[in-house]
Structure 1
Amino acid sequence: MSTTPVPPRSPRRRSPVAALSSLALVLALGSSLTSACAPAATKPDTEGPTTTPPAPAQPAEPVAVPGSFADNPIVYFVVTDRFLNGNPGNDNSYGRRKDGGEEIGTFHGGDLAGLTAKLEEGYFRDLGVNGIWITAPYEQIRGWVVGGDKEFQHYAYHGYYALDFTVLDQNMGTESELRAFVDAAHAQGIRVIFDIVMNHPGYADLWTLNEFGIDVLWDGWEKATPADYHSYIDYNDFDFTQWWGGDWVRSGLPGYDEGSSWDDLTKQLAFLPDFKTESDQAVKLPAFLTRKPDTHARAHDGYTVRAYLVEWLTRWVREFGVDGFRCDTAKHVDLASWAALKAAGVQALAAWKREHPDRAVDDAPFWMTGEVFPHGVQRDDFYDQGGFDNLINFDFQNQLDEMFQTGLGKDWRRIDTIYADYASKISSDPTFNVLTYISSHDTKLFNRRKLIPAGTALLLAPGGVQIFYGDESARPAGPVPSSDPQQATRSDMNWGSVDAAVLAHWQTLGRFRSRHVAVAKGAHQMLAERPYTFSRIHPEDRVVAAIGATGEVTLPVGEAFVDGARVRDAVTGTELTVTGGRVTVVADASGVVLLEAVRADH
């Protein structure tokens, strides 16, 4: 989450198979022209039987064992507002405006319709993606708050400042557009993952306070700037109780408890109001929601804060078929609340699938990952008591960055210590997995000059992987506020300047990974140091990969493939036969070789 208060597709690289097909066509045309210029043959006296020429050999199809989504998640994380504007008519919802400056924290126009357009184009399918994690699309606070150190107007374009969890934010689109997006994703076997927050709602911004008649504003508030914003709010006025109310959140305002200064579960993260999810006290609906005509929030006797939030969030699962959640600021919410959300999500998705069997990807259960900063690759109570299937791995980005700074590109065997460590933990536990990334909206973008080798390292890592939008296209960083540099990671998608070579590489690696659960959950073994070669062997699947290969190389395959086995290099399309436990192949310019079995019926 944010911690400050505050075009056309590029052409794909032509494959060797396509090049061979073109050469065959040229030779065939040449043969036809030569025949046309040659003397006519003498027609035999008797018509003999005609012979049909053999059909050209078809490229071998790889054996695909993708595994379950939980075992092999390949999740594309997109800040929806910064991706693609599919419906300009919703750009200025609720009176939101541009700031006339660098537009660091304003809404930029990306929406659900834009995501659907790219789905229909095949953009995500070409990347091998099987899940799309979108920023929370439900309604956010109406206006802006102070960004950074009074540097910019900070709107909730990222979805972390919720106002009403039960309706869509109009900048994101309509319910029919959400259904179209979910259906388009499911039709391609892609799951939809919502970013959600149970730790906090959004700040009390000027426009929301005015909209709902919470009488704490001084005259002239409409003229506020980041420099004088807070001077227009009377922070001593008890009318703040007409907002969420002291039974719901800690905020330090009149009529509210203060948040803790030390306890993760009760602190006000970045001064945000903190939900009392751990409380067993029954609460009424917040006062402002009772005056909000479009809300789906309904009062229930005996409901706690947790019960309401669980009901509101799982409504998206019950009614739209959302497949899972990425849970923000998870360490700041009690485990019992996460377990309740997971249980309700499982029930809600199962019910939706029973009612819409033709619109579901499969019968897999609801899935949940979470942000527990700075969690690495280890199993703990978030899995065993909180119900999480997966947690984000914060270690890999810095590990990989440090390795590149000390010569990884010249000695890839050094990454084996990471791969071996991850695989030993992930492959041995069928219910344990992580989501590894190289760029994030909350940390930094990976070195844009290293995206081909970094993409290789990420997409061959054990466990699940997260592709941050634009890593596959070399999206440049945006403006960098000195007091909130993470804003630079959320620049607009670079549809007009996609790096075709980077995209083609990520597509090749992503599709290979999508075919092979062994990459994610297989037992790992290094087979050679130069070029760095390893196998991953799963009970149902096996692959061999090499990184740093140049020219013609002979690679060991270990126990992955027996002598006589037919395999192909997924990068070049070259078909090979294993001889003496090895194959010889000419490596692509990327230096990556990806060996997979081919189907026996070809």
Structure 2
Amino acid sequence: KWRQEGRLESELKELDDFFNRTKLPRTPVNYIIKWVTDYARETGVDGFRIDTVKHVEEEVWKVFNEQASIAYEDWKKANPEKKIHDDAFFILGELYGYEASGGRKYFFNDNPVDYFDYGYDAMINFGFKRHAIAPYKELFKRYDGFRDSLLLENPKDPAYFMNYISSHDDGQPFDAARERTFESATKLLLSPGMTQIYYGDEIARPLIIEGTQGDATLRSVMDWDTIDKDLLSHWQKLGKYRNNHPAVGAGSHHSLEYDGPGTIFARWYDKNGFKDQIIAGAGLKDGSLTIDVTRVFKDLTQLRNAYTGTILDVIDGKVTVQVNRGVMLLESL
């Protein structure tokens, strides 16, 4: 094939250069590592999601992840005008059954494996769909604890997790009947940790299809003609807020004093000179609500409710905010 395409010599030279530089043996797996990590070197893709990590030996993943990072750094050096950030390459792994609640290790019977020791930055969390049954306050506090626990187990090698509520091969999603769609969005997008939105979560795409077998029921048609526009707007507002504020997914979580349904909380993020802070509420009663914001926004005279877009005056350290769909999302202007 290479000879027919007129690139045999260049491809063989690339292989020679790779093996001379890395000192890796010329085994089949190392040829594959070279070719797959070339995606990062040639396109600038800044991360891989790997499915499924248990099917490959841990030492192979260590080499693969090291070479993927090197490949991405090579691309950044060769394309300084194209890179959109200077973060390191990111490796996300899937291993069915891994849960953030169990810490860094996954137990194969009596043989625990810490995939973070082999170059993984994050693992998909298969526990969120069950944990999401909990009330908002309990859920957010619990996931803040998981986040802190993973980071503290080995501060020099941070570990992260990614939550989901439904997936392409998980037959027990949080809301299979799509009866708690707004709650699903709020809990997933306001919980500490990374998030994965499965296609159709944001428009209540059916997950129970008559006549299907196996996973097919989870992979129904994305019917744009039957969109629940209110639900889509809810996902969009929460998603935009999360995207604009690293504190939502990666910040330190603190529950604020509040006597009512749901929870009001603050989150602070401070890393590499970048600071972010928010106050948000979930599971609240719709209507007007007055809250004290001095713990987070001590000197500000105005805030914005990102859910409604309304500008709020801070009077004597308090704001009166309108709660919609059980949510309020405060941010500085």
* TM-score over 0.5 for the pair: yes
Q: Assess if the C-alpha contact under 8 Å between 1:423 and 1:524 holds in 2.
A: no
- Verify: 1:392 aligned to 2:124, yes or no: yes
CA deviations 1:273-322 (Å, max 9, x no partner) are: xxxxxxxxxxxxxxxx9999899986879521320221121122122222
Alignment of 1:379-458 (within 5 A): 379-380=104-105, 382-400=114-132, 402-403=133-134, 408=135, 412-425=136-149, 431-444=158-171, 445-447=173-175, 448-458=178-188
For 1:551, the aligned partner's letter is G
Cα separation, partners in 2 of 1:501 and 1:526, compared to 1, 3 Å: same
User: How many pairs does the alignment contain?
Assistant: 300
Identity across matched positions, percent: 34
Q: Assess if the C-alpha contact under 8 Å between 1:564 and 1:579 holds in 2.
A: no
1:396 Cα offset (Å): 0.4
Cα separation, partners in 2 of 1:328 and 1:568, compared to 1, 3 Å: same
Alpha-carbon distance in structure 2 between the residues aligned to 1:497 and 1:456 = 22
- Verify: 1:326 aligned to 2:36, yes or no: no
CA deviations 1:447-481 (Å, max 9, x no partner) are: 22222111011101111111111111222237466
1:498 Cα offset (Å): 2.0
Alpha-carbon distance in structure 2 between the residues aligned to 1:290 and 1:382 = 39
Name the residue aligned to 2:108.
none
Q: Assess if the C-alpha contact under 8 Å between 1:413 and 1:529 holds in 2.
A: no
Name the residue aligned to 1:52.
none
Q: Which of 336, 360, 365 is the equivalent residue of 2:83?
A: 360
Name the residue aligned to 1:559.
295
1:426 Cα offset (Å): 5.8
Name the residue aligned to 1:489.
218
5+ residue gaps, structure 1, are 1-288
Q: Which of 495, 516, 521 is the equivalent residue of 2:245?
A: 516
Name the residue aligned to 2:329.
594
Cα separation, partners in 2 of 1:495 and 1:344, compared to 1, 3 Å: same
Q: Which of 269, 274, 281 is the equivalent residue of 1:538?
A: 269
Name the residue aligned to 1:312.
35
1:420 Cα offset (Å): 3.7
Alpha-carbon distance in structure 2 between the residues aligned to 1:331 and 1:371 = 9
For 1:506, the aligned partner's letter is W
Alpha-carbon distance in structure 2 between the residues aligned to 1:372 and 1:580 = 51
For 2:64, the aligned partner's letter is L
Alpha-carbon distance in structure 1 between the residues aligned to 2:159 and 2:219 = 30
Name the residue aligned to 1:268.
none
Worse-superposed segment, 563-572 or 511-520: 563-572
For 1:595, the aligned partner's letter is L
Alpha-carbon distance in structure 2 between the residues aligned to 1:295 and 1:393 = 43
Alignment of 1:71-470 (within 5 A): 302-377=25-100, 378-380=103-105, 382-400=114-132, 402-403=133-134, 408=135, 412-425=136-149, 431-444=158-171, 445-447=173-175, 448-470=178-200
5+ residue gaps, structure 2, are 20-24, 106-112
Q: CA RMSD in A?
A: 3.0
Q: Assess if the C-alpha contact under 8 Å between 2:147 and 2:160 holds in 1.
A: no
1:395 Cα offset (Å): 0.7
Higher gyration radius (CA): 1
Alpha-carbon distance in structure 2 between the residues aligned to 1:488 and 1:308 = 38
1:580 Cα offset (Å): 4.6
Indicate the SS of the match to 2:180.
Answer: helix
Q: Assess if the C-alpha contact under 8 Å between 1:391 and 1:433 holds in 2.
A: yes
Indicate the SS of the match to 1:358.
Answer: coil
Indicate the SS of the match to 2:201.
Answer: coil
Name the residue aligned to 2:306.
570
Q: Assess if the C-alpha contact under 8 Å between 2:58 and 2:115 holds in 1.
A: no
CA deviations 1:80-119 (Å, max 9, x no partner) are: xxxxxxxxxxxxxxxxxxxxxxxxxxxxxxxxxxxxxxxx
The structure that is helix-richer by fraction is 2
The structure that is strand-richer by fraction is 2
Alpha-carbon distance in structure 2 between the residues aligned to 1:511 and 1:349 = 28
Worse-superposed segment, 321-330 or 469-478: 469-478
Output the TM-score relative to the length of structure 2.
0.80
